[in-house]
Structure 1
């Protein structure tokens, strides 16, 4: 029995769903398997020629399950929970050194709040030959031990298969919170223990460490990422028809847009960044719409400047909000999108992608917003529907009251977050169109 068969037998032993695939013109077998995650499963894949297949087969990876919402794993049999830790860059690589120094002090007099101070402490540890710290224990009681340290082999296996990052790089770089000796019988228990312990630790450390610490949000599976990228031939066709530096864009909204593009691990932040890109242009288009409405009223032969009712109409049009913009935020969004996006472009964007089409047709994202979008019907106002949905999700993220109604807050780790990728793609598409509409010919500095 070869190593690949041994890996398959491990999957069989725990009754995970799996499938072995062979592709034409490729002398290579692939194993696709679903790792349990709460009440669902996440599909991962590995090639029989993976250079780490020996290492993977000789671990206890099959004894673990994934933690939904976080980059974490747990095991009932091994009585452990493990989750990746994030800190503000560039502090992650120094985290174990800093924690070792912090916990070694009997009396902590002041917070560690300066990069130079951290560097000094690291140098001190180097002199003591303690720089190669791989694990720092922060708690032990009733057989339960809590550590910060470089991730386990099992953790690195799952994360590397999801992220396409080399296994060795994961093991020598990723720092995790590790809880050992704890009895966990369900995903809910594992999640509750993880949050309870991490919240307590992070809050205490926040008094002494300037940089933040948090559990890492669940990474998007590489397979999910690839599904939503443009096809290679489409990218090449677009580039071949473009002219480099043909247009220039406003710095402020472009920085928001780029931030959104680089926030794929924080989907709610990503959605808001693209929304704020559109929001930047609200004053321009809301004012244009107001001017057009006023012109229509004044051109009306029946308009009487002595009629209070007619004057009230004008006042209601030019009524400014606290930001000095005309109209409420929903109407400003609609005015901006109507001036920058064509009806047909929105329909094509939704219908040209099978997954996106099914998502909006079947309203699979109803937990995110009850507002529906009908891309097939030609008689409906799709721009209005798109704006209603985008605005509704935006309000639920920031928990803003709209027309006296306060919907449920969309939390960063709520189950529906995994579905939001289609709505993110939609608001990004609209943001692109708004940026394009407001671009200008490039001028040499």
Structure 2
């Protein structure tokens, strides 16, 4: 009792000194252990004098910060052999090579808020999870032969609860033990293989979708320029929009956190108008061919030029999809406006000028002030579209690698999603018609 009560006495100088000493001791012990293990450890103090200790846990070729703000949180970490653990990139998952263990958070993958009650009931037969002894509940899958990992789904371990941002006392994790892994990539591959098989089996047997939990990152703030000040003054509508592409647009706006789905929804808004604007482009091409003095109607090569210019796709649009996209953007957007959009936000401009160079998509020549960027934008958007849907493309594309959900490449689509959303807005506006309320 005497050990607890002094902590509540605010005006006791000895207690404050003792408390400060405990903090200093905890910080020093943590710093020493991190240094010995080659783990980054730094103390940060904000403008108000509040301190934080940030530990950089290893995660592939990067680090994942673990922030501690009290002696209690530091001592909780010190009670664990945290030096043995590394994070597996992009997942809420930890691995100990020396112990041969991998532990990964799992979550409900359906729409809406995770129905924890359904998960507990179907996995463990628990009608009321708050009254259920989760600590004793385990789903164990024993290996059929020596050398294979042991598999278990159960409550998150104390180590996982301390290290993971997504942890909590009622969290479930997939645990693998007796693993023969010595590198990050081999551990990640093993986890993905077993999780894919086990969690798909769970879905088939109990009809509840569960997936590995992605790394908890701080939500990225929207990069779109926001206008501060008074509320917007809305005007009475003068135009109306096609219901189908507008529905796709709202679908894209509602698909936050699903970058591939969001990109495709906005792309489909633009795609909806391909037949209209590609026809205008085809007219220009035909006129140019027919006005050519060297054109001969009895020459097969000239007829082939005409046929190529008026090639009609299954959607009724003219030309291949790449040229349809290009024609639509040239009809519906302004070159200067597109450049302003790309350059008005410093983060967006920096991404497309520098950071995007490492990505396998068409580059935008922002550094050239005289370049009409619409053609390059069309090429880039089409590149990404092909990598998402992985369909057949024309001979210029060559092989197309699939762009998968929950990958670093998908997470890097933020600025490209903003771009295709902007294009969808411009095309909707350009394609609107005068408002006919009763028509």
TM-score w.r.t. structure 1 length? 0.74
Give 1:136's match in structure 2, choosing from 125, 131, 138. Answer: 138
How is 1:40-439 mapped onto 2 (pairs within 5 angstroms)?
40-43=62-65, 45=67, 48=69, 63-85=84-106, 86-89=108-111, 92-93=115-116, 94-101=118-125, 125=127, 131-133=132-134, 135-141=137-143, 145-152=150-157, 154-156=159-161, 160=165, 170-171=167-168, 174-219=171-216, 221-222=217-218, 225-226=220-221, 228-230=222-224, 234-237=226-229, 240-243=231-234, 249-294=241-286, 315-362=307-354, 364-369=356-361, 371-404=362-395, 405-412=398-405, 416-439=409-432
What does the per-residue CA deviation read over 1:204-231, in whole Å, with 9 as the maximum and x for residues that have no partner? 3344233433323444x217x13x5346
CA offset digits 1:21-46 (Å, max 9, x no partner): 3343x232344443321112244655
What SS does the aligned partner of 2:211 have?
strand
Q: 1: distance between equivalents of 2:24 and 2:276?
A: 61
* Contact 1:263–1:269 (CA under 8 A) maintained in structure 2: yes
Deviation at 1:56, TM superposition (A): 5.9
User: What is the rounded CA distance, in whole Å, between the counterparts of 1:175 and 1:181 in structure 2?
Assistant: 20
Q: What is the aligned length?
A: 404
Q: Which residue of 2 aligns with 1:10?
A: 30
Over 3 Å counting, the alpha-carbon distance change for 1:152 and 1:429 in structure 2 is: farther
Matched, 1:27 2:79: no
| CA distance in 2 between partners of 1:397 and 1:155 (Å) | 34
Paired position in structure 2 for 1:114: none
Q: Which string of whole-angstrom CA distances, capped at 9 and with x for unpartnered residues, describes residues 320-366 of structure 1?
A: 11222222111111122222322223323333344433333336444
Give the CA deviation at 1:386.
1.1
Shift of the alpha carbon at 1:387?
A: 0.9
CA deviations on 1:213-271 (whole Å, 9 max, x unpaired) are 3323444x217x13x5346xx3434x734528857654433443444444454433333
Counterpart of 1:110? Answer: none
Contact 1:303 1:310 survives alignment (8 Å): no
C-alpha RMSD of matched pairs (Å) = 4.0
Instruction: Please list the CA deviations of residues 32-79 of structure 1 after superposition, one character each: whole Å capped at 9, or x if unmatched.
Output: 443321112244655x37997775665555543221233322223554
* Distance across 1 between alignment mates of 2:360 and 2:92: 22
How far residue 188 of structure 1 moved from its aligned partner, in angstroms, is 1.6
Conserved 8 A contact 1:137-1:145: no
Distance 1:5 1:427 in 2: 53
Residue 39 of structure 1 pairs with residue 41 of structure 2: no
Distance 1:442 1:10 in 2: 67
Q: How far apart, CA to CA, are the structure 1 residues paired with 2:227 and 2:163?
A: 30
Cα separation, 2, equivalents of 1:423 and 1:374: 15
* Offset at residue 19 of structure 1 (A): 3.8
Whose radius of gyration is greater, 1 or 2? 2
Partner Cα separation in structure 1 for residue 356 and residue 92 of structure 2: 25
Shift of 1:403: 1.9
Contact 1:287/1:326, CA 8 A, preserved across alignment: yes
Q: Is 1:70–1:83's contact at 8 Å kept on the other side of the alignment?
A: yes
Distance 1:425 1:6, change over 3 A: farther
TM-score relative to the length of structure 2:
0.75
Contact 1:96 1:148 in 2 (8 A): no
- Cα offsets for 1:177-207 (capped at 9, x unmatched): 2224535422122212212321231343344
Q: Which runs of 5+ in 2 are unaligned?
A: 1-20
